[in-house]
Amino acid sequence: MPVAARTETESETETETHCPYCALQCGMTVDSGARVRPRRFPTNAGGLCQKGWTAGELVGHPERLVTPLVDGSPASWDRALGLVAGRLARLRAEHGPDSVAVFGGGGLTNEKAYLLGKFARVALGTSLVDYNGRFCMSSAAAAGTRAFGLDRGLPFPVTDLDEAEVVVLVGANVAETMPPFVSHLSEARQVVIDPRETATARQAVAAGGLHLRPAPGTDLALALGMLHVAVSEGLADAVYLDRRSVGFEEAWRVAASWWPERVERVTGVAAADQRSVVRMLAGARRRYLLTARGAEQHAHGVDTVTAWINLALALGMPGTPGSGFGTLTGQGNGQGGREHGQKADQLPGYRRIDDPAARAHVAGVWGVPASSLPGPGCGAVELLGSLGRPGGPRALLVFGSNPVVSAPDAAAVRSRLAALDLLVVADPFVSETARMADVVLPVTQWAEEEGTVTNLEGRVLRRRRALPPPPGVRTDLEVLSALGAALEAPSAFPSEPEAVFEELRAASAGGPADYSGISYARLDAGEALYWPCPSAEHPGTPRLFLDRFAHPDGRARFIPVEHVGPAERTDPEFPLWATTGRVLAHYQSGTQTRRVAELASVEPESFVEVHPDTARLAGLGDGARARVVSRRGAARAVVRCAPGLRADTVFLPFHFAGEQAANLVTNPAPDPVSGMPEFKACAVRLEPE
Ligand SMILES: Nc1nc2c(c(=O)[nH]1)N[C@H]1C(S)=C(S)[C@@H](COP(=O)(O)OP(=O)(O)OC[C@H]3O[C@@H](n4cnc5c(=O)[nH]c(N)nc54)[C@H](O)[C@@H]3O)O[C@H]1N2
Ligand SMILES: Nc1nc2c(c(=O)[nH]1)N[C@H]1C(S)=C(S)[C@@H](COP(=O)(O)OP(=O)(O)OC[C@H]3O[C@@H](n4cnc5c(=O)[nH]c(N)nc54)[C@H](O)[C@@H]3O)O[C@H]1N2
Ligand code: SF4
Ligand SMILES: [Mo]
């Protein structure tokens, strides 16, 4: 395989940019030798986690791909792109535009996400574009839109948390998933709601907080129980309910039958603890409730987040200065990546593709007839499931995702990818998905290109080029631009990031996520710009909802939701719940962090966290090699005994590949509203290997 030379250049120049990984987007500098140093920025206050510190190792990594691959062999760009364009054009002519599908990622910059969505709709004419954010933020996004009329993960800056008295973290292991974030919680009493005793739970309890351990997939019942406490103890905020919300009565009708002792039987969380948490929240002036993937990645994730929002509304928190509800966006551009059109139902500016006015506006910017834009496609789970089937897509282009490792029911995903006529993957590395591809396109990495990302607060940031890419690689924008030209697309595909951003500004103007007032010049001048920012003079919007929510009547919506539980049940054959998630040292599907020696040495292989009693019953001890078996498949892992974990639950990280892939066992059952699969609860048994 062709590899890049590792070059060590000494230089005084340090470029100010942000971390390539998570949505906290810690400030860092990178010099022309790819050395990373932390930089003070409000979200990280000068801190970086291990992943950020070592990110420079990815630049000039010996396994960096620097030549396109066709059928696994090096090929010229002309040949690779010519082959891709030719085969895409032929498929479209013979089988129609929906014979080609596109899969994007929340790590892509705003410019890339925007151009990828435009490429799908205009150059390919396909409705079938979706992205890995479907696996990440889609349930929180749908719940936020439903309740508040707008989805911005945190409708306030992270630094607002510095003043909080109480912070409740639901299914969020921030001590491992965004370590510098924890510094914003130092003044607050924290409540951590997680089936596992995580590093986050431990630090919360050590500081006088609480750890509640619901069974996986039972958060909805827990939130109903807490709403019951709030109302029955007279702690609901009647003035707020009257002035700022609608629909409380309907939501209360459901919660009225979820008294805390009933909730205790379903969730395992003591009624007394439910009461304590509600009293803590009601008794504080500055309080926040934050959810993350533990609450959201369920077949009823939208309703679960809704139940937590209902509790926050009843207590008068959202849109109140010094208080709030938020969801912790995960990927580096998880927020911007869900706004600019790589989502199946969406056009740039968080517009809906089925809205005639939105279609007319965006088609106008693109210079194409609105009637030429396809309608909404389907979510990622359905999309991956349809690949290569009769009438389904025959080609897939992947930018910024590694679904062979990260999509649920990974063995099924692998066989769908194998059934395609053409798989094209753009990636700086040969990921597990790229390994299956007919054509792999080597692209630049974060420190080698310009762009913008939108962090977990909705603040737009500049990523900057710190050093040149290795010869032979191209940017994603250059790839899309070249393919757009080769396919004779009826609109231009600029490859300069700022030119793409200028187009994005125009396309987003007037939409819910309005970026039209944001420019590279303003960002480079150091302005802190949070969307919406509808004009060049507008200061941006750090805090949303203080006067009104984004529904036409300005009021938040209570939506009545009922507890259902996970899509599959445990039984004598599969008696345990498996839940999955993250560890500090690795990022996502591991394409990047498994290649960083310092990180790989911390967590070299997969493990399964098991309560010691449960391990003993399965004939396993700490350090034993085990198989975790579900109705779909089995994953290999080393047993790690964890006395703080529920005895009915095991935990697997999803960062590992091959036989260690946690997604061999997970359940793809999608949420009916968001299409989010149930990564966080499936029935398994544990066996010695
Ligand atoms: N180190 C590291 N950091 C990351 C990432 C990474 O891959 N590695 N990825 C980034 C991305 S894209 C994301 S989305 C975020 C995710 O950030 P988090 O949401 O904090 O991470 P997870 O580990 O997926 O899940 C959080 C917790 O949910 C718990 N959980 C499981 N099931 C349930 C349940 O039913 N109810 C409740 N209440 N909790 C449950 C798990 O035990 C876990 O500790 O992290 C970002 N940061
Ligand atoms: N079991 C289980 N599965 C999960 C989850 C879970 O909690 N449990 N979490 C889900 C969540 S929240 C997420 S976000 C997904 C993430 O899972 P994936 O979508 O697989 O995300 P990454 O591993 O970040 O994949 C990014 C790929 O793109 C490449 N890449 C990085 N930057 C660029 C770029 O600028 N351009 C291009 N073309 N490529 C780039 C990287 O090298 C890598 O191969 O996993 C989901 N899967
Ligand atoms: S917390 Fe997130 S953004 Fe900060 S250094 Fe770690 S991975 Fe990077
Ligand atoms: Mo994510």
Comparing CA positions, the residue from 444, 449, 446, 494 lying closest to residue 471 is 444
Q: Residue 680 pLDDT more than 60?
A: yes
Express each pLDDT in 194-210 by its tens digit: 999 999 999 999 999 99
Neighbours of 13 (CB within 10 A): 11
How many domains does the structure of the chain reveal?
A: 3
**Mean pLDDT value of segment 381-401:** 98
Closest C-alpha to ligand 2, atom 7:
581
Mean pLDDT of the 604-626 span: 98
Whether residues 314 and 208 fall in one domain:
yes
Q: Decide whether any atom of ligand 1 lies within 6 Å of the 49 Cβ.
A: no
CA quadruple 592, 596, 598, 600: dihedral sign:
positive
Contact 214, 329 (CB under 8 A): no
Residue 517 resides in a domain: no
Are both 369 and 447 inside the same structural domain? yes
For ligand 3, what atom is nearest to the CA of residue 53? 5
With a 6 Å cutoff on the Cβ, whether 361 touches ligand 1 is: no
Q: What local confidence, expressed as pLDDT, does residue 127 receive?
A: 98
Q: Has residue 531 been placed in a domain?
A: no
- Tell me, what CATH number does 671's domain have? 2.40.40.20
Asked if residue 344 and residue 264 are part of one domain, the reply reads no
Tell me: pLDDT of 382 over 70: yes
Assign 3-class secondary structure to 587-654: CCCCCCHHHCHHHHHHCCCCEEEECHHHHHHCCCCCCCEEEEEECCCEEEEEEEECCCCCCCEEEEEC
With respect to residue 191, please indicate whether it lies within any of the assigned structural domains.
yes
Examine the pLDDT at 3 and tell me if it is beyond 80: no
Cβ(135) – ligand 1 distance below 6 Å = no
Do 107 and 236 share a domain, yes or no? no
Ligand 1 site, residue 294, Cβ cutoff 6 A: yes
Mean pLDDT of the chain: 97
CA atoms within 13 A on the CB side of 497: 23
By residue range, what is the domain housing residue 101?
69-133+333-492
Residues, CB within 5 angstroms of ligand 4 (ion) = 136, 330
Q: Would you call 50 exposed, middle or buried from its count of C-beta atoms within 10 A (0-12, 13-18, 19+)?
A: middle
The whole-angstrom separation of Cα 471 and Cα 474 is 9
How high is the pLDDT of residue 124?
98
Would you say the CB of residue 189 lies under 6 angstroms from ligand 1? no
Does the pLDDT value for residue 1 go beyond 60? Answer: no
User: 328: CA distance to ligand 1 center in Å?
Assistant: 10
- Of the three residues 295, 313, 328, the one that is the final residue of a domain is 328
Tokens of 355: 């809205």
Last residue in a domain, options 449, 472, 492: 492
Task: Give the model's confidence band at 5: pLDDT under 50 very low, under 70 low, under 90 confident, else very high.
Answer: very low
What confidence tier does 7 reach under pLDDT thresholds 50, 70, 90? very low
Q: Report whether residue 175 contacts ligand 3, using a CB cutoff of 6 Å.
A: no
* Closest ligand to residue 441's CA: 2
Residue whose pair of structure tokens reads 């909080």 in the numeric block: 164
Average pLDDT over residues 54-63: 96
| Residue 348 sits in the same domain as residue 322 | no
Is the CB of residue 196 below 6 angstroms from any atom belonging to ligand 1?
yes
In a domain, 499, yes or no: no
Which of 17, 18, 26 is the best mutation target for the ligand 3 pocket, counting ligand atoms within 8 Å of the beta carbon and taking the most?
26
Token code pair at residue 384: 């991956």
Confirm whether 62 is domain-assigned: no
401 C-beta closer than 6 A to ligand 2: yes
Characterize 73-83 residue by residue with b for buried, 16 or more Cβ atoms within 10 angstroms of its Cβ, and e for exposed: eebebeebbeb
Q: Which two tokens stand for residue 490?
A: 């009826």
> For residue 134, how far is its CA from the centre of ligand 3 (angstroms)?
22
478 domain-assigned: yes
- 105 Cα nearest atom in ligand 2: 19
668 in contact with ligand 3, CB cutoff 6 A:
no
Q: Rounded mean pLDDT of 597-611?
A: 97
Nearest one of 424, 420, 442 to 433, comparing CA atoms: 424
Report whether residue 406 contacts ligand 1, using a CB cutoff of 6 Å: no
The pLDDT, as a whole number, for residue 2 is 35
Q: How far is the CA of 60 from the centre of ligand 1 (A)?
A: 30
Q: Give yes or no: residues 233 and 302 share one domain.
A: yes
> Domain holding 403: CATH number?
3.40.50.740
Domain end among 328, 358, 378 = 328
For residues 385-411, give the mean pLDDT: 98
* CATH number of 304's domain: 3.40.228.10
Cβ of residue 49 lying under 6 Å from some atom of ligand 3: yes
Same domain, 270 and 352: no
Please say if the pLDDT value at position 12 is more than 70.
no
pLDDT band per the 50, 70, 90 thresholds, residue 6: very low
Does residue 77 sit within a domain? yes
Whole-number percent of the chain with pLDDT over 90: 98
User: Does 178 sit in the ligand 3 pocket, CB within 6 Å?
Assistant: yes
pLDDT at residue 8 in the model: 42
Pocket test for ligand 1, best of 293, 656, 678 (most atoms within 8 A of CB): 293
- Based on the fold, state whether residues 185 and 246 are members of the same structural domain: yes
Average pLDDT estimate for 314-328: 98
d(CA 577, CA 254): 26
120 and 238, same domain (yes or no) = no
Question: How close is the Cα of 51 to the center of ligand 3, in Å?
Answer: 6
Same domain, 143 and 248: yes
Helices 476-486 and 110-118, packing angle to 10 deg: 20
Flag whether 549 is in a domain.
no
Ligand with an atom nearest the CA of residue 331: 1
Q: Which atom of ligand 2 is nearest to the CA of 652?
A: 1
What is the rounded average pLDDT of the residues 362-379? Answer: 98
| Higher local confidence (pLDDT), 152 or 3 | 152
**Ligand 1 pocket, 489 CB below 6 A?**
no
pLDDT, tens digit, 9 for 90 and up, residues 444-478 = 999 999 999 999 999 999 999 999 999 999 999 99
Whether residues 260 and 341 fall in one domain? no
Give the separation between CA 581 and CA 172, rounded to whole angstroms. 10
pLDDT tens, position by position, 505-533: 999 999 999 999 999 999 999 999 999 99
pLDDT at 4: 36
pTM: 0.97
Distance 241 CA to ligand 3 centre (A): 38
391 lies in the same domain as 453: yes
